[in-house]
Amino acid sequence: MRILALDTATAACTVAVTDGEELLAELTLQVPRAHSTRLMPLVAQALEESGTAPSDLDLIAVGIGPGSFTGLRIGLATAKGLAFALRTPCVGVSTLRALAYGTGAASGLVVSMLDAKRGQVYAGIYAAGGREADRWDELLPPSHLSVDELAERIHTLRVKRGDAGRPVILCGDAARRYADALALGEAAQVAPPGALLPRAWAVARVGEAQAQRGEQVEPDALAPLYLRKSEAETLWEARKSTSTQ
């Protein structure tokens, strides 16, 4: 299955073309607030370098977040537009799940954490399953939590699973910042730099597993995974509330 995959939920703008387990091309840029101008050129370059004509694509896989509201809108709009134009099925992939899978961990817990500001994170916890995307169990679905709440969830899961003596791999843009606050001691292992932000090849592999389970959707059914209101919405509601008092 030849797949075009992309994710723009974080500072990373990442695009890949895969064919089964073979990575044909992957391009990743970390340029803040440039996704709108960089994404389509990256898509075109990835297709060209992989020798893939748009009509050759069997699936478009896109990260649906959680993450940057603006970044997600850009990525989802691009995926929808391509899918409509090419009449290609698509699948939405949790950015947190793809992050965890991208660490390549064979066992233990993997915690994906993206910074949601003010001591909050978007987080998911997964039981590692190695190369097979279907073997990764989701123990905590994508959630908006305080760092203290996440620490408690991790502790509870480690005790329940008997994992207290095993390492916990942390990935995502909040991993380094909050590693100590999770109170894991020497068990905390921050993923290497190449696995701290989403990678499109991982989105492709997770997306392919979902497609094999029949989870493809029509382009208009793709939707971002927002776990909280945007700052603009929060400010608007606050002003509206003040004006009605």
Looking at residues 33-49, what average pLDDT do you find?
96
Strand (E) positions, the chain? 2-7, 12-19, 22-30, 59-63, 90-93, 109-115, 120-127, 137-146, 168-171, 188-190
pLDDT category at 82 given cuts 50, 70, 90 is very high
Cβ contacts of residue 221 below 8 Å, gap of 6+?
Answer: none
Bigger pLDDT: 236 vs 213 = 213
- Identify any residues that bridge with 144 across adjacent strands, giving them in sequence order: 122
Q: Is 28 helix (H, G, I), strand (E, B) or coil?
A: strand
Which of 3.40.50.150, 3.40.50.1000, 3.40.190.10, 3.30.420.40 is the CATH number of 105-195? 3.30.420.40
pTM to 2 decimals? Answer: 0.92
- Identify any residues that bridge with 159 across adjacent strands, giving them in sequence order: none
Q: Are 110 and 43 in contact (CB under 8 A)?
A: no
pLDDT category at 199 given cuts 50, 70, 90 is very high
Please tell me what DSSP assigns to residue 58: S
Return the CATH superfamily for domain 2-95+198-237: ATPase, nucleotide binding domain (3.30.420.40)
Query: In 3D, which of 241, 218, 124 has the Cα closest to residue 174?
Result: 124
pLDDT at 23: 98
pLDDT at 142: 97
Instruction: Flag whether pLDDT at 61 surpasses 90.
Output: yes
Looking at residues 79-84, what average pLDDT do you find?
97
Interstrand relation of 2-7 and 12-19 (parallel, antiparallel or unpaired): antiparallel
Task: Indicate if 105-195 has the same CATH topology as 2-95+198-237.
Answer: yes
Which residue ranges make up each domain of the chain?
2-95+198-237, 105-195
Interstrand relation of 137-146 and 188-190 (parallel, antiparallel or unpaired): unpaired
Rounded Cα distance between 46 and 194, Å, is 19
Instruction: Flag whether pLDDT at 233 surpasses 90.
Output: no
